[in-house]
Structure 1
């Protein structure tokens, strides 16, 4: 098994900068950080670069092509949050077999009301009819069907459509509660789509594990922040999406960056430069303040782009938009180091993926390098970074300057690619390697919702 070392690089290990360290890799795994290395190992010069773990995008909708785009920007894992199984199964097979696209996990389709979101977005896409639930007693069947399709976690959608410009039916709260209970009985996390305060409170009362978006219709109250904190509930705010909805999108800045345009096909650059602007009354500054307050209260913040595999998601593109999200997290008040954690160790821990998100012995070899201190410049989280690539034939190519990767080759993992037990390492069970306990609906544990 080939062994090589990357030496001379500054290392961000997923938690903090640890200075210059030699990182030793054997086969598909990091075996040592900062330890003496064998003289016979191949050596890669990392002087002048910073070595990062492969980035994790905690909210996407992926296909094979866009997973390739993601990897060009150093994103080595994506969490897909709504895809039809007939489309996702070949994507997961490709990700298991290929090294030129990012890894992926998926919820399969999400739970919504008949005619509910995202039905209104699928016109003309020739997608099959969405499976829905109209009675709480059928929620367990829905969860079982998603697990049989390979779902790593379950998604529920509490969406009236108002923020997206078209009103749609909303799923009943009692059905959401039944689905959450069924998912927890089967050791699966539940992630909620909720873009309003009312929907967020409904999801919290149902006992969801985390949110795929931040609400956009008002400021965060102390009671709401406490409900997140008390429940150990994580938040993937998707600030890129909220900025696009409110006409405050910054995708045009990314789309004008030559390091982005050189890695994206022109149609995706065009999509990145556009915006929804369907909710001009929404207050994006409230969203930034909410992220800051949640973070300061100890709520886990995950970086997610909501990039889609079709051009309808205006203002987003795989890979590039995760870097835009990191910029917005810093704008919201996270430090550059905290923002990088939101795209590395925090999502890895939250989703129980202990083989990635860190540069540490035992982790997958998906680190990426960059040419500037991440603490000095978060406007572009990576700048002329480099990564060592292994190409067919086991020849080692010297690193070349790029945004994050030179050629987009992912390290293949030896980890199993079967559907994973969904569990999360929530605030009450953060120890590495602990298995998630089965959980019942825990609305009683949460801070009470104030009277409206």
Structure 2
């Protein structure tokens, strides 16, 4: 029994909503076979198919978190790294996009994912999956001593915050962090092309730039080396020659401007240092760039919106998505803003970018163990902020977490409910378009499928 029929359901296909839909998908191929909004006779259903009556439910594409990190540098010793990908699937997040992690970490995750998917298909009707799909930039285009050394080391204070230690250094209390940092690229404009070619061979799905001088953060401005426009342009040009999209980290307007001028496809954050200017909105339009707001991590950085952290930590805990340690972490915040930095600047930037027709792709910058975040539940919080703080309709928020993210990141096989697309789907009790809270209140997400296979 490899086919599933969901009938009489309210369908949000990633773009628009339609009532009384019937969707048929196949767990063997992992693909959607049929989508209809007209009456379909049960006699035409595939023989032996599992039939689910979707009355009173909403069917959506699997959600995509367009900015997370899959490493375990913030996890307590002995933690299960596989858990990084288990939490989000229960929330309906079928794909997570890592924006900086070493290749060994990515390959380990992908090996587990393949093993699990193969076993689930072999098991047939009883097969289930537990982990979200992983896309990754592998390591970002870092420079010697540059970002993200400060934020990675912030939870593990030493006197050597921005040093690059030898690989065999075990003298610090946090040797695993220092060893990880020692492996990061130390790019120059001359080595940019080789970096991109190597990452393409490693299986990178896109390239991540780092543009941070700490002017919006509670670190001394220009206390770390900062990438030049020449370097960022060299990386972007090389990536585009290899058919790879490029996103750039920036949390301030001046750094956002550099990323946009480099020709990058999008920004991996919005900015918090000041209100948006007409010039930056115009530059976004000129470059046809998109933005992944990551409001969740920005509120953690500024230490604002504690009530929202409490709200979603309670939701995640009550639904068994996080344990007590993870809840404590989700309730905490980084509290590292520069003077004048504010989440209101971020909200206003997204309001104005949305009004200007700029694509908004939903993402959180969640990391397992990073204060104020939890991969999975944080995307619910992110979408809630789009609606409550940035003027999105529920449909627009869900669009940002499905079709927009898939299209702008170049994932042609997912993000919409269409024939031939991956059967990454979630079934929610109630009409989600009437209230985003239906994702988590009451029964909430009652079924998730990844490539046509039901989540455990």
Q: TM-score range by the shorter chain?
A: 0.7 to 0.9
Cross-structure match for 2:409: 351
Q: Relative to structure 1, is the Cα distance of residues 64 and 269 closer, same or farther in structure 2, using a 3 angstrom cutoff?
A: same
CA distance in 2, matches of 1:154, 1:260: 37
CA contact (8 A) 1:100 1:410 kept: no
CA distance in 1, matches of 2:238, 2:286: 22
Report the more deviating stretch, 326-335 or 367-376.
Answer: 367-376
Equivalent of 1:187, from 234, 238, 243? 243
CA distance in 2, matches of 1:3, 1:95: 22
Cross-structure match for 2:331: 273
CA distance in 2, matches of 1:170, 1:130: 18
Cross-structure match for 2:341: 282
SS in 2 for 1:181: helix
Q: Which runs of 5+ in 2 are unaligned?
A: 71-80, 117-128, 154-173
1:34-433 paired onto structure 2 within 5 Å: 34=36, 36=40, 38-39=44-45, 40=47, 41-62=49-70, 64-98=82-116, 99-123=129-153, 124=174, 125=177, 126-133=179-186, 135-166=188-219, 167-249=223-305, 250-257=308-315, 261-279=319-337, 281-309=340-368, 311=369, 313-330=370-387, 331-379=389-437, 381-384=439-442, 401=443, 403-406=444-447, 410-411=450-451
CA contact (8 A) 2:99 2:138 kept: yes
Between Structure 1 and Structure 2, the one with more helix by share is: 2
CA contact (8 A) 1:327 1:380 kept: no
Per-residue CA distance 1:386-422 (angstroms, 9 max, x = gap): xxxxxxxxxxxxxxx4x3245x663368xxxxxxxxx
Q: How far off is 1:146 after superposition?
A: 1.7
CA distance in 1, matches of 2:439, 2:354: 20
Count residues in correspondence.
Answer: 393
CA RMSD between the two structures? 2.0
CA distance in 1, matches of 2:381, 2:441: 13
Q: How far off is 1:379 after superposition?
A: 4.2
TM-score, L = length of structure 1 = 0.82
Q: Which runs of 5+ in 1 are unaligned?
A: 385-400, 414-452
CA contact (8 A) 1:59 1:305 kept: yes
CA contact (8 A) 1:101 1:409 kept: no
CA distance in 2, matches of 1:345, 1:351: 10
CA distance in 1, matches of 2:236, 2:413: 27
CA distance in 2, matches of 1:56, 1:307: 13
TM-score, L = length of structure 2 = 0.82
CA contact (8 A) 2:9 2:21 kept: yes
CA contact (8 A) 2:139 2:185 kept: no
CA distance in 2, matches of 1:31, 1:251: 40
Q: How far off is 1:118 after superposition?
A: 1.2
CA distance in 1, matches of 2:13, 2:347: 27
